[in-house]
Amino acid sequence: MNRDTYLAAGVDRDAAQAAKESIIGIASKTLQKEVVGGVGFFGGMYELQGYNRPVLVSSTDSPGTKLRIANLTGRFDTVGVDLVNHCVNDILVIGAKPLFFLDYFATGKLSIETVEKVVEGLAIACKENSAVLIGGETAEMPDFYQEGEYDISGTIIGVVDKKYMMPIRKTNKGDLLVGLPSTGLHTNGYSLARKALLERYHVDRYFEELDMTLGQSLLSVHKSYLPALDAILEKDWLHGISHITGGGMVENTHRVIEKGQDIDVNWDTWSWPEIFNLIQKYGEVPIDDMRRSFNLGMGLVLIINPASLDELSDHLSSINEEFTVIGKVV
């Protein structure tokens, strides 16, 4: 099949090559000395050093229907940051720190400008999390996506010395639950949020309660908690970490506590960010559904020995990270 007939079928190989060259240039800015051979080869190569019993930890995710908000607002520079930070937080739960990241970008008709914006976001977040954007795939799939639509997902690989893995540690009854605030919805609950709000209001609608437009609030970037936890991941008083994603606080925290244990959450210890109040109000969402669908303002929960609360408090205060004791293991 020659180039003209392939183009007639909806695949622009010249645009694909231009996008590939642009992506390689952006990703190369994240390179570290451990990367062998650079980026752009058939596979990414990374030389692992400095660990006694390294355990590789992986996670794959996507921003989900948050991409719809990006399309509606025409802003594509934040969803890549969302994707990387979400994956970073997922492997933090194991105690791992990121090594490298691979992305998948699929669309019906390739827009180099959109690809560049998304990949720039990926690269920014990789740099901020000391990870390498080591490779990926860009797929132009005519007739599969509507024009202007795209989807992204990504996989992160991190590492932890086996003796510091969170699953090896044990949570105990009486351990405290310490919540770290979220920036908003992060990357979960957008189907419900869109139904509650966007069937009623345009993304450009300004809300005094939010002090910004609806679209700006819904695109608030998923926070990475690596800067807050980097210095304390190996502390023996840190018994577990829960990333509050789909399923909410209860379901996600149950994944990391011991069998036979439960959590007692004092839901009155913090105030919801206003975006959640708007979703509940206009969507008429019952409180139980809110708690199962959203983080409600707490994006990460640390499970700690109560005797070490002062040490944790000193650390988090020193880096200006807010926190709230929100409950305990029972």
* Low-confidence residues in the chain, pLDDT < 70: 1-4, 9
Residue 142 contacts residue 11 (beta carbons within 8 Å): yes
Residue 284 contacts residue 158 (beta carbons within 8 Å): no
Q: Quote the pLDDT of residue 17.
A: 80
Closest among 155, 27, 11, 179 to 88, alpha carbons compared: 155
Instruction: Enumerate the domain spans of the chain.
Output: 3-167, 170-329
Closest among 81, 62, 152 to 120, alpha carbons compared: 81
Give the amino acid at 183.
T
Q: What is the CATH number of domain 170-329?
A: 3.90.650.10
Q: What is the CATH number of domain 3-167?
A: 3.30.1330.10
Q: Quote the pLDDT of residue 44.
A: 87
Give 15's Cβ-side CA count (13 Å radius). 18
Residue 184 contacts residue 218 (beta carbons within 8 Å): yes
Burial of 65 (0-12, 13-18, 19+ CB in 10 A): middle
Q: How far apart are CA 79 and CA 91, in angstroms?
A: 19
Q: How far apart are CA 231 and CA 227, in angstroms?
A: 8
pTM for the full predicted model: 0.93
